[in-house]
Amino acid sequence: MTPAPTAIATEALARVVGVLDAGEDRPGQVEMAEAVAAACAEGTSLVVQAGTGTGKSLAYLVPAVALGRTVVVATASKALQDQLAAQDLPRIASVLGDFGFAVLKGRGNYVCQQKLDEFDAGGDLFVVAEVVDAVRAWAEASPTGEISELTDRFDGATLDRFVTGADECTGARCPRTDVCRANEARARADDAQVVVVNQHLLGFDVQADGAVLPDWDVLVVDEAHELEDVMAHALGEEIGPGRIRRVLGAAVDLLADRGDRAEEARTAAERFTEALDAVATDDRERAQRFPAGLGADERLAGVITALIERCNAVGAQAARAGGAPETTARAERAVKAASRLSAALARTLDPQSGDVVWVEGRPGARSVRIASLAVAERLAPYWRGRPVVCTSATIPPGLGGRVAVDVPTRTVASPFDFRSQALFYVARDLPAPNDPGWRVAAAAATRRLVDAAGGRALLLFTSWAGLDATLDAAFADDPPYRVLRQGTMDKPALLDAFRADETSVLAATRSFWAGIDVPGDPLRLVVIDRIPFPVPTEPLHAARRDAAGPEAFTRIDVPHAATHLAQGAGRLIRTRRDRGVVALMDPRLARRRYGADLQQCLPRMAKTVSLDEAAAFLEALTATA
């Protein structure tokens, strides 16, 4: 008798866990693995919330591999992508036997051999020969051709000249398609059983009707709480003066009278920028939404229409450029890029159903952005009834329906005992955040808790202004521990410094609320300054609120805040040995009716509204360290 799929999956998981995790008992992991196996076998979809410590990557990878399914795993963060490719998949293969796996990135992440050849023919006067020689030598030695390997040697603008994005690549018509590094990466992915990508590349595959990724039996979306936003932007456009200059410049470089044409291209980009500045309501970087598209503004419509005509004209002229294969290849790329830009500009004037159009950026460098509210409508035909597994430590309420995986969310328990490991302090007695005295009072409470913990704190802020004000108010007296601030070094270096100095304090904003892992002694305290409600003027969020109508706060704002609050609080307990305090300096959680809804997404920690009790808890931990 053939074993049931769930039995095959759990037996394989037991083997892997027995070797890699010393047989650590994680009932939630087994439950999730059984659910994934059933989804694979029955061709159904699954939304599963798997708390911190569940071991969800093994819970979805092992069943899919053991059942012989071809799997694409889409992550939101590079950190998880690297973890899967460098740690989890090789370890699983060491137990279950060798199987093919690969990481696939967007075409613009790989060096373009055709562009390298064109430098020999004088294709770009702005890159010196020494740089070309260095890139060529690296490309010949690199096993992957990923241009990111050169980021410590050359700036981004220089490296951009050696890659070709999907909006300009000519595919099979390229003279160097036989040695294309992006094609080599795709071939490796075609041969693999498991392919790891990021969610942005998944979005490009949706846009391209499945032409970007290999065929798959099962799609796993990890960090699924990010999927809706990633898809909204991936299904949109971004048009700035840099893109206009680059696209028009590439086309006019092929023309005999390119000097005059180049000046016309620069002028077109400048007029576009001036028109965006003219319609901006103020001189700050605040985004401005255009619900009916940019065509509603007469001046913008005129400038963009003229720019579309310019794109079409130079594209047609470039198409007639002939001669050597290198010139023909450049011409085809230029024509494709000009056509794509023309279509994107037309979309700003006449948006598609569900499009959100806005202008953002600082004066003189503004750009137009388009995002889509029609995520579910675009994803439903793409899924084509194939099994999709969406998983995260925190699944926002209603996410499944918004990404066309409309099944009930299944929750599997974390192996951690949060009630004994963590204390959740809510500063109920502080003034409200809109009170002028709140920031000073919150800073004083933060300092007291950090002192009680002996440093060892992660301070999470909803804004840069809040971060700076708190550091100025609470830590200006040279405290007996190092205070690290986001922005003083890059993120990996900052986290390394935080982990290395066990008594240090790290102050950071939204990019540190998720995707970082600091287990053990370096972290005893997580302080969150405010409930992370979305910025009401952010264009995509504002459009979602408009669509939700009178229930916008309940349907849009509260789920958003709950998800991000849970992500921030989740930085504290990463192993069964971790202990500490999560502190929220926003009294609204204890005073407002929506506070109960927000807390539903949090781990079941012990609770207090007493600052003295929270400080005593930390002091006791410090005394036994």
| pTM of this structure | 0.90
Asked whether residue 226 falls in the same domain as residue 284, the answer is no
Residues 227/365, Cβ–Cβ less than 8 Å: no
Asked whether residue 506 falls in the same domain as residue 615, the answer is yes
Asked whether residue 225 falls in the same domain as residue 254, the answer is no
Model confidence at 624, pLDDT cuts 50, 70, 90, reads confident
Model confidence at 115, pLDDT cuts 50, 70, 90, reads confident
| H-assigned helices in 85-173 | 89-96, 113-120, 129-141, 156-160
Cα 610 to Cα 618: distance, rounded to the nearest angstrom:
13
Greatest mean pLDDT among 8-12, 258-262, 273-277, 359-363: 8-12
Among residues 234, 237, 165, the alpha carbon closest in space to that of 203 is found at 234
**What is the length of the chain?**
625
pLDDT of residue 133: 86
Q: How high is the mean pLDDT of the chain?
A: 90
Q: Would the pLDDT of 261 be above 70?
A: no
Asked whether residue 379 falls in the same domain as residue 471, the answer is no
Q: 25 lies in which domain range?
A: 5-100+192-233+374-412
Q: Would the pLDDT of 304 be above 70?
A: yes
Model confidence at 249, pLDDT cuts 50, 70, 90, reads confident
Among residues 244, 114, 123, 227, the alpha carbon closest in space to that of 179 is found at 114
pLDDT tens digit string along 368-378?
A: 999 999 999 99
In sequence order, the 6+-apart residues with CB closer than 8 A to the CB of 118 are 124, 326, 329, 330
Q: Would the pLDDT of 124 be above 60?
A: no
- CATH number at 603 reads 3.40.50.300
Model confidence at 165, pLDDT cuts 50, 70, 90, reads confident
| Angle, CA of 598, 601 and 603, to the nearest 5° | 120
Asked whether residue 384 falls in the same domain as residue 508, the answer is no
Cα 585 to Cα 429: distance, rounded to the nearest angstrom:
9
pLDDT tens digit string along 48-68?
A: 999 888 999 999 999 999 999
Asked whether residue 139 falls in the same domain as residue 161, the answer is yes
Asked whether residue 176 falls in the same domain as residue 206, the answer is no
Residues 53/576, Cβ–Cβ less than 8 Å: yes
Among residues 516, 522, 467, the alpha carbon closest in space to that of 492 is found at 516
Cα 497 to Cα 45: distance, rounded to the nearest angstrom:
41
pLDDT tens digit string along 492-530?
A: 899 999 999 999 999 999 999 988 889 888 899 999 999
Cα 127 to Cα 609: distance, rounded to the nearest angstrom:
61
Asked whether residue 423 falls in the same domain as residue 460, the answer is yes
Cα 582 to Cα 602: distance, rounded to the nearest angstrom:
11
Output 409-412 pairs: Cβ under 8 A, ≥24 positions apart. 409/47, 409/48, 409/49, 410/35, 410/46, 410/47, 410/48, 410/49, 411/48, 411/49, 411/50, 411/51, 412/28, 412/29, 412/31, 412/32, 412/35, 412/48, 412/49, 412/50, 412/51, 412/54
DSSP symbol at 77: -
| H-assigned helices in 475-557 | 491-500, 539-548, 552
pLDDT of residue 160: 85
Mean pLDDT of 17-41: 88
Residues 423/583, Cβ–Cβ less than 8 Å: no
Model confidence at 118, pLDDT cuts 50, 70, 90, reads confident
Asked whether residue 320 falls in the same domain as residue 354, the answer is yes
Q: Would the pLDDT of 326 be above 70?
A: no
Q: What's the total number of domains in the chain? A: 4
Mean pLDDT of 602-617: 97
**Residues 305/311/314/319 CA torsion (nearest 10 deg):** -130
DSSP symbol at 24: -
Cα 57 to Cα 486: distance, rounded to the nearest angstrom:
29
Q: Would the pLDDT of 30 be above 60?
A: yes
Cα 158 to Cα 508: distance, rounded to the nearest angstrom:
30
Asked whether residue 216 falls in the same domain as residue 296, the answer is no
Mean pLDDT of 104-128: 77
Cα 524 to Cα 574: distance, rounded to the nearest angstrom:
11
Asked whether residue 73 falls in the same domain as residue 111, the answer is no
pLDDT of residue 532: 97
Residues 325/379, Cβ–Cβ less than 8 Å: no
Asked whether residue 87 falls in the same domain as residue 216, the answer is yes
pLDDT tens digit string along 425-465?
A: 999 999 999 999 999 999 999 999 999 999 999 999 999 99
pLDDT of residue 1: 57
| Angle, CA of 465, 470 and 476, to the nearest 5° | 120
pLDDT of residue 555: 92
pLDDT of residue 161: 83
pLDDT of residue 251: 77
